[in-house]
Amino acid sequence: MAGIYVHVPFCKSKCTYCDFASYPREISKVESYFACLYREIEGRGRSLQGKVFDTVYIGGGTPSFVESKFILGVIRQIRKFFTLSENPEITIEINPGTVDEQKIKDYKSVGINRFSIGLQSGYDEQLKKLNRIHTAKDFLLTCNLLKGENISADILIGLHDQTAEQVKKTVDLAIAGGVSHLSVYALTPEVGTPIYTDYLNGELLSEDEVADIYDEVRAYLKEKGFYRYEVSNFAKTGFESKHNLNYWQRGEYIGVGVSASSFIDGRRFTNTFSIDEYNNAIIYNKTPEVASDIIEGEDACFEYVMLGLRTAKGISTKKYRELFGEDFDKKYSDVLNKKGRFLDYDGDNLKIKDEYLYVQNDIIMAFMK
Amino acid sequence: MAVDKKNIRNFCIVAHIDHGKSTLADRLMEKTGQVSERDMEEQLLDSMDLERERGITIKLTPVRMFYKAKDGIEYTFNLIDTPGHVDFTYEVSRSLKACEGAILIVDATQGVQAQTLANAYLAIDNDLEIMPVINKMDLASANPEEAAMELEDILGIDASDAPRISAKTGLNVEDVLEQIVKKIPAPSGDGNAPLKALIFDSYYDNFKGVICFVRIKDGTVKKGTKIKTFMSDRQFDVTEVGVFSPKMTETDSLSAGEVGYIVASIKSIEEVEVGDTITDVNNPAKEPLSGYKKALPMVFSGVFPLDGSKFNDLKDALLKLKLNDASLSIEPDNSTALGFGFRCGFLGLLHMDVIQERIEREFDLDIITTAPSVSYLVHKTDGTVLTVTNPSRLPQTTEIEYMEEPVIKASIFTPPEYVGPIMELCQYKRGVYKDMVYLDKTRVEMKYILPLNEIVYDFFDSLKSRTKGYASFDYELAGYERSSLVKLDMLLNGEVCDALSIIVHKDKAYERGRQIAEKLKDVIPRQMFEIPIQATVGGKIIARETVKAFRKDVLAKCYGGDVTRKKKLLEKQKEGKKKMRSIGTVEIPSEAFISILKTDNNN
C-alpha cells in the first residue's frame, strides 16, 4: 500500500479551530500555486518510478473551493507521472456551499470516487460560532448532489455547551445524507487559533465531558451499523478509508503541495507551510522540504506500534518480527505484563481493549524505549 | 616574619539574619583596601551561588585585612565570618572560639531579634568582647536610640558609643575600624610556647587534600613542621601555611594570635576533627585547647535518586559534600517504594534544603526526598532502647513499651500584638508555655518547650504568616520527653508506600492523615484507573480520598504530518514520566514525597 496526498491551501474563510495551512487571503495565488504543484507532482512522480500507489487524497484547506479545472489538472498530472493501481481510492475533501452539480460531475469524470464532507455540527448556531461557511441544510443539499457516492462526513465534539444529544442528532443528519463513513474528532484547541482563547477561558467542554460524549456517540454509531476502526473513525464494513489506514499501518505516502508530509523509503519529510516559499522553491528547482528525518532502529519499531495501536484491529506481532527482526514478546515482556489488563493479545494480534482506545497514550508510551 | 601579636585583632560579626552581616564584612574589606571597589563582587564572603542567592552564609570564611589606624600603627584584622541561621549555630560557636571579640550588628529599624540575642549570648559565653554596631542608618525608619536602648535593656550591653552606620552606603564604617582597634583585645598567647592551633573549620581540596582553618593560640607553625592532633596520633608534614586575603595566600609561618590555614597532605576530612588541637610532634603541648561538642544532626530525611540507576552518582555526591560538611550524616537506606538511597541527617531544615539543592545543582542529579523526621527513642518491651530516625524502621506496636521524642527550648521575639496568635500556634504545635517577658514597649520574648517534630513540620511558615513576618525565632535542643506517638501509613491503591509514612502524635494522626490524603489527591495525576488513597494508623483506615481515572489522553487526529508530532508529544510525556516513581501500579511525581509536609499553612 502506498498513497498520494495533495494539499490545497485555499478556503473561503478560516474556521476558528483551524490551524492547517490554509490561506483565504492568498486566493490570488491560486494559478501560480497550481502551476508549481503540477511541477512538484511531475518531479516527485519521476523520482518514484516503480512504486505503485493505491490511493489519492486531496485535502486542504477546502479543495472544492477552487475551480474544478485545478483539481482535474492535479489528477491528470498524477495519472501522467505516477503509477496508480487498478482501482485507486481517490478522495476529495469538500465543504457544503462550495460545490454544484458541474463540479461533482467534473470530479467524477477524472475518477474521484470518495467525498469527505466537512459537516462538523448539525446545529447552525454552532456552525456560526466556528465560522463555518454553511448551514446544516447546505450539507443535505451537497449530499443530494452526491447521491449513490461513497461519502464521509467529519463531526466535531467538544464544542461550546455541546450535548451528547446534539452530536447524536448530527450523526442522524449525516446518515440522512447517506454517509457510509464518519470521522468524529474531539476538538483540539491549538495555540494561535481563535478558539484557543475560548479554551483558555474554560468555555469549551472538559476532557471528561468530551470522553462522555464520545462514549455515547460510539455506542450510538454501533447501533447504526458504523463500527469503529480507528480512534476517531467509524465506517460501515468495507467503507474504511484506505488512504488513512495506510498511515496507521506505517505504509508509504508522498505528499505534494504546501505543508504536505511524506514517508518514503524510511524518510519522513514535510514541505514548507508558506505558499510563496513553496512557489519559489519549485520555480528555482529547489526542494520545498523544510524538515526531513530518517526513521530507523528503535524509532521505526516504536512508530509501528504507536500507529498500529490506534486502530481497532491493532498490530500483528508476527509481522513486527518480520519487519524488525526482533521478538516482540521478549522485547516488550515487561510492558505486556504491566499494561496487560488494557490489551487483547492472542500471541499474534495485539490490540488495545475497546474501552481503553481513548486513553491509549499511556499504554503506547510504555512501548517507547 | 611574624606579626607582633599586639597589633592583631581577631573578631567575628554576629547578627540576626538580614541585619547586614555580609554587607559590613564587604565594606570592611573594601575600606582596608583588601579588594578594590571595582573588583568588588557583592558580598564577597558568600562565595557559593546558593549563599548569594538566598542572602545567607552557610560556610564560614576567614579573611585577613590590614588597617592603618589613627594612632599610626598598621593592624592585622582577622575577620571570621559566621553563618547567620539558627541551623548553623554550631558553626557560629566554632568561629567564636577563634576570636577575641565580636561585632554585634543590630538593624536600626528592627532592633534586637531572636538570633541577635542567641548569638550575643554565645559570644558572651565564649568570653568575647562585644562591640555593638547599629546598622541601616540609611533607612528612613531607622531608630538608633531605640535599638541602643534595647541592647542595654535586653543584653546589658552599653551601646552609647556604638557606631551608627550604613554598611550599604559606607556611612561611618571608619568608626567601626577604629573601634575594632580600641575595643577588641589583642590576642594573648606565646609565640615561643609549644604549638597549639585550634581547627575551627576544614574543607577538602582536590589538589591539596584537607585544608585546616586554624587559630594559632600558642607557638609557631611553618612549612616542614611535623604535626599531629590530640584526638588521633597520626602525624603529618606541613606542606603549606598561609592566610586568607580573602583568597588563600601562602606565608612563611603562622604564629600565636594569627588566623590562617594549614595544608599537610591529609587525605580525608575524617582524619582531622574540627575542634581538635594541632601541635608540634617535636615539641608537643601538654594539653589540648577546649574544643567544641560535635554537631548532632536533628532532622532526618530519605534521599533517593529519581533514576534508580544513579545510586552511585548520588553516593559520590553525598560523600563529596560530606568532605566539607562534617555535620551531614549519611547512611545507606532502602525503601520498597523508592529503592536504594540514603538516610541523611541534617542540622535543621535550612541545612537540609541547602544540601538537597547542592546535590541537584552541583552534581546535576534529580533526587526525591522524603518528609523530614526527627530522631525518636523507642523503649521496647524487651528493655532495649532503639533510636529511630526513619518511620519505616519503627518496630511493631506490640514491641513498643513507650516512645520519647526530642523537644526544643524555643525563644520567640515578637511585637506584643502577635502574642495571641503565637500562643495559639504553639498550643496547636503541642508547645508547653514557659515564660513571657515584655522586653520593652515593642518587643515580647516568649519561651516555649516544643516537640521538634512539630518544628520540622511547617512551624516557621506558620509563625511567619501569623505575625506578618515580624516574629523571630531561635531554639536549642532540650532533651527527650515521653510522648504518645503513632506511625501514620499512606496506602496507594491498597499498598503501603513506606516513603510516605510519618511518625505523629496520636492526637494529630487523624488530622494529618486527612491532610496528606487530600494533598496526595492533588499532586498525583489521574491515571488509567481509579486510585484510592488511604491513611491508616495501626491498620485502621482514618482517611480516604480517590484520584479518578482519566478518560481521554489520545490525540484525536493522526495523519501524515501528525506522526512526527505525535511521537514528539509522547516523548515529552515520557520525559515527564521519568520524574515519576512507580509505587506498585501507581505513578507518583517526585515532589509528592515532600509536598505532604506543606499541608496546613492555614493553621
pLDDT digits (tens, 9 = 90+) for A287-308: 999 999 999 999 999 999 999 9
Question: Three-state SS across B145-207?
Answer: HHHHHHHHHHHCCCCCCCCECECCCCECHHHHHHHHHHHCCCCCCCCCCCEEEEEEEEEEECC
- Nearest CA to A130 among A227, A221, A204, A200? A204
Q: What pTM, to 2 d.p., does this model score?
A: 0.73
CB B358 within 8 A of CB B326: no
For chain B, give the mean pLDDT. Answer: 86
> Domain span at residue B456?
377-483
Residue B38 confidence class, pLDDT cut points 50, 70, 90: very low
Q: Using the predicted structure, report yes or no on whether residue B367 has a pLDDT greater than 60.
A: yes
Contact with chain A for residue B566, Cβ under 8 A: yes
Residue A280 confidence class, pLDDT cut points 50, 70, 90: very high
**Could you give the ipTM of this predicted complex?**
0.90
Q: Which amino acid is at A133?
A: I
Domain boundary, last residue among B132, B150, B183? B183
- What stretch of H or E contains A198? helix A194-200
Pick B554's closest partner by Cβ from A231, A259, A261.
A231
Domain co-membership, B106 together with B237:
no
Domain co-membership, B12 together with B159:
yes
Q: Do B567 and A208 touch (CB under 8 A)?
A: no
Contact with chain B for residue A141, Cβ under 8 A: no
Domain co-membership, B529 together with B386:
no
CB B212 within 8 A of CB B195: no
Domain co-membership, B146 together with B78:
yes
**Cα separation, A43 vs A66, whole angstroms:** 23
**Cα separation, B388 vs A155, whole angstroms:** 62
**Cα separation, A33 vs A71, whole angstroms:** 12
Work out the percent of chain B whose per-residue pLDDT is above 70: 91
Domain boundary, last residue among B151, B183, B215? B183
Neighbours of A266 (CB within 10 A): 12
- Nearest CA to A41 among A9, A93, A5? A5
Q: Using the predicted structure, report yes or no on whether residue B505 has a pLDDT greater than 50.
A: yes
Domain co-membership, B544 together with B571:
yes
**Cα separation, B276 vs B278, whole angstroms:** 7
For B575, which residue in chain A has the nearest alpha carbon?
A365
Which segments of chain A belong to CATH 1.10.10?
298-366
Q: What is the spatial order of strands in the sheet that B299-305 belongs to? A: B329-335, B339-346, B299-305, B367-369
Residue B225 falls within a domain, yes or no? yes
pLDDT digits (tens, 9 = 90+) for A13-39: 999 999 999 999 999 999 999 999 999
- Give helix then strand counts, H and E, for chain A: 15, 15
pLDDT higher for B462 or B490? B490
Q: Do A358 and B577 touch (CB under 8 A)?
A: no
Q: Using the predicted structure, report yes or no on whether residue B40 has a pLDDT greater than 80.
A: no
φ, ψ (nearest 5 deg) of residue A172: -55, -45
Domain co-membership, B31 together with B169:
yes
φ, ψ (nearest 5 deg) of residue B525: -70, 155
Beta bridge partners of B444: B414, B438
CB B345 within 8 A of CB B289: no
Q: Which amino acid is at B567?
A: K
Residue B44 confidence class, pLDDT cut points 50, 70, 90: very low
Cell of B395: 518496630
Residue B581 falls within a domain, yes or no? yes
Domain co-membership, B435 together with B541:
no
Per CATH, is A2-247 categorized as 3.40.50.300? Answer: no
Contact with chain B for residue A272, Cβ under 8 A: no
pLDDT digits (tens, 9 = 90+) for A341-357: 999 999 999 999 999 99
**Cα separation, B152 vs B132, whole angstroms:** 10
Domain co-membership, B338 together with B410:
no
pLDDT of amino acid B35: 58
Residue B294 falls within a domain, yes or no? no
Beta bridge partners of A291: A270
Chain B residues with CB-CB distance to A260 below 8 A? 560-561
Residue B111 falls within a domain, yes or no? yes
Find which of B552, B559, B580 to mutate to test the A interface (most A CBs within 10 Å of its CB).
B552
Contact with chain B for residue A20, Cβ under 8 A: no
CB A210 within 8 A of CB B552: yes
Neighbours of A201 (CB within 10 A): 8
Reduced to 3 states (helix: H, G, I; strand: E, B; else coil), residue A247 is: helix
pLDDT of amino acid B91: 61
Cell 486510585 appears where? B531
* Pair type for strands A252-256 and A2-8: parallel
Assign residue A286 a region (left: φ > 0; alpha: ψ between -120 and 50; beta: otherwise). beta
**Cα separation, B14 vs B20, whole angstroms:** 10
Q: What is the CATH number of the domain that holds B519?
A: 3.30.70.2570
Contact with chain B for residue A185, Cβ under 8 A: yes
Across chain A, the runs of DSSP E, i.e. the strands, are 2-8, 52-60, 83-94, 114-120, 150-157, 181-186, 227-230, 233-235, 252-256, 261-264, 267-271, 289-294, 315-316, 343-345, 349-352
Beta bridge partners of B536: B489, B541
Cell of B59: 560556610
Chain-centroid distance, C-alpha A131? 21
Contact with chain B for residue A263, Cβ under 8 A: yes
Peptide bond into B246 cis (omega under 30): yes
| DSSP string over A74-132 | HHHHHHHHSEEEEEEEEEEEE-TTS--HHHHHHHHHTT--EEEEEEE-S-HHHHHHTT-
* Pair type for strands B586-589 and B580-583: antiparallel
Number of domains in chain B: 5
For chain A, give the mean pLDDT. Answer: 96
**CA distances (Å), origin B212, targets B215, B250, B279:** 10, 13, 13
pLDDT digits (tens, 9 = 90+) for A175-208: 999 999 999 999 999 999 999 999 999 899 999 9
Domain co-membership, B13 together with B127:
yes
Chain A closest-CA separation from residue B560 CA (Å): 6
Residue B293 falls within a domain, yes or no? no
pLDDT of amino acid B42: 46
pLDDT digits (tens, 9 = 90+) for B211-233: 898 999 999 999 999 999 888 87
Query: Which A residues, 300 through 329, put their C-beta within 8 Å of a C-beta on chain B?
Result: 302-303, 306-307, 310
CA atoms within 13 A on the CB side of A110: 23
Residue B20 falls within a domain, yes or no? yes
Q: Using the predicted structure, report yes or no on whether residue B49 has a pLDDT greater than 60.
A: no
Q: Using the predicted structure, report yes or no on whether residue B292 has a pLDDT greater than 70.
A: no
**CA distances (Å), origin B270, targets A143, B204, B315:** 86, 10, 17
pLDDT of amino acid B245: 76
Total length of chain B: 603
Residue B269 confidence class, pLDDT cut points 50, 70, 90: confident
- Nearest CA to B438 among B423, B419, B425? B419
Mean pLDDT computed over B308-329? 86
| DSSP string over B3-35 | PPGGGEEEEEEEESTTSSHHHHHHHHHHHTTSS
Q: Which amino acid is at A262?
A: S
Domain co-membership, B58 together with B156:
yes
Contact with chain B for residue A243, Cβ under 8 A: no
Neighbours of A85 (CB within 10 A): 12
Assign residue A262 a region (left: φ > 0; alpha: ψ between -120 and 50; beta: otherwise). beta
Cell of B432: 508547653
pLDDT of amino acid A229: 97
- Nearest CA to B273 among B212, B226, B354, B215? B212
Beta bridge partners of B342: B303, B332
Q: Using the predicted structure, report yes or no on whether residue A80 has a pLDDT greater than 50.
A: yes
Q: What is the CATH number of the domain that holds B77?
A: 3.40.50.300
Q: Using the predicted structure, report yes or no on whether residue B60 has a pLDDT greater than 80.
A: no
CB B120 within 8 A of CB B133: no
For A21, which residue in chain B has the nearest alpha carbon?
B561
**Cα separation, B162 vs B153, whole angstroms:** 15
Residue A271 confidence class, pLDDT cut points 50, 70, 90: very high
Chain A residues with CB-CB distance to B563 below 8 A? 247, 261, 263, 268, 303, 307
Q: Using the predicted structure, report yes or no on whether residue B37 has a pLDDT greater than 80.
A: no
Residue B204 confidence class, pLDDT cut points 50, 70, 90: confident
Pick A247's closest partner by Cβ from B551, B560, B564.
B560
Residue B336 falls within a domain, yes or no? yes
Mean pLDDT computed over B50-73? 71
Domain co-membership, B423 together with B450:
yes
pLDDT of amino acid B597: 67
Cell of B7: 597589633
- Nearest CA to A27 among A14, A15, A38? A14
CB B458 within 8 A of CB B428: no
Domain co-membership, B18 together with B164:
yes
Q: What is the CATH number of the domain that holds B245?
A: 2.40.30.10
pLDDT of amino acid B82: 67
Per CATH, is A298-366 categorized as 3.40.1350? Answer: no
Residue B603 confidence class, pLDDT cut points 50, 70, 90: very low
